[in-house]
Amino acid sequence: MSRIFEQIGQFLGARPTPAPLQAPEPGDAATPCAHVLQVIKAQLPLRNREEFWARVFAAIDARSLCEIGVYKGAFAEHILRACEGLRAYHMVDPWRHLDDWDKPANHGDAQFEALYAEAMSRTAAFAGKRVVHRATTREAAAAIPDGGLDAVYIDGDHSLRGITIDLITMLPKLRHGGLLAGDDFTRNIWQHGTDFAPTEVFPFALYFAEATGRPIFTLPGSQFCIVNDPGTGFRVFDFGDYLSLSPREIYLPRAR
């Protein structure tokens, strides 16, 4: 197995795909991207992702959010408690075993039943705000209105298939200037070792931003944020220092 990875490494060479790091231009101050840049900079350094996103969502005056992949509801509870201005919090998770999801968190149905109960109990105080979709992203998509969300936080199926579906499905759900953010933007794809499917949020989200012509922020703590601001176009604000990564660092398994 390791020989195969060595060969892949030789094939890939040592250069990452170049992408531009650009600051907004002076005349840009009124763009959604420039506003998000100010908001994000004010919250760095990032010490705790729940606290970081709660502050970012509050600063953009978020009314309507969606979390993809809720699990036991820890992130949802934090955001709902912290963001008083929220009116709707869409919680998307099938809370069931998935035959086509090769990740360690893919528990049996009984365990997911308990995780669902915990998520409901943690967020019970906000029952009037939460909108529960016990479904995969694709199954839930039709029930989430287009163009209305202030932000989506993607933390579900992090495989290449999963992040592809999540980004393509959720981009149209955002308002102009809304945030397409997420977790597990890991610097190496073998997040759970080579016995599980690789995590390909990075670099796919970076390429998705380029393909759809939107700015992206790479962030510490394996976080990312694309801004639905086609007027600004593709720019990389590399606060997480991803652009210096070589293909070997990204694609070869790390010593465990």
Q: List residues near ligand SAM by CB under 6 A.
A: 67-71, 74-75, 92-95, 98, 101, 105, 136-137, 155-157, 162
Alpha-carbon dihedral sign for residues 185, 187, 189, 191 = negative
State the residue number with the nearest CB to ligand SAM: 69
For ligand SAM, the closer of residues 67 and 229 by Cβ is 67
Are residues 140 and 66 in contact, defined by beta-carbon separation less than 8 angstroms?
Answer: no
For ligand SAM, the closer of residues 138 and 254 by Cβ is 138
**Which H helix or E strand runs over 71?**
none
Which residue blocks in the chain are alpha helix, DSSP H? 2-12, 32-43, 49-59, 74-82, 109-122, 137-140, 160-170, 201-212, 247-251
Q: What are phi and psi of 202, to 5 degrees?
A: -100, 130
Nearest-approach distance from CB 92 to ligand SAM, in angstroms: 5
Nearest-approach distance from CB 186 to ligand SAM, in angstroms: 12
For ligand SAM, the closer of residues 199 and 218 by Cβ is 199
Helix (H, G, I), strand (E, B) or coil at 252: coil
CA–CA dist 227, 214 (Å, integer): 6
Nearest-approach distance from CB 81 to ligand SAM, in angstroms: 13
For ligand SAM, the closer of residues 12 and 168 by Cβ is 168
For ligand SAM, the closer of residues 181 and 236 by Cβ is 181
Nearest-approach distance from CB 1 to ligand SAM, in angstroms: 26
Nearest-approach distance from CB 35 to ligand SAM, in angstroms: 25
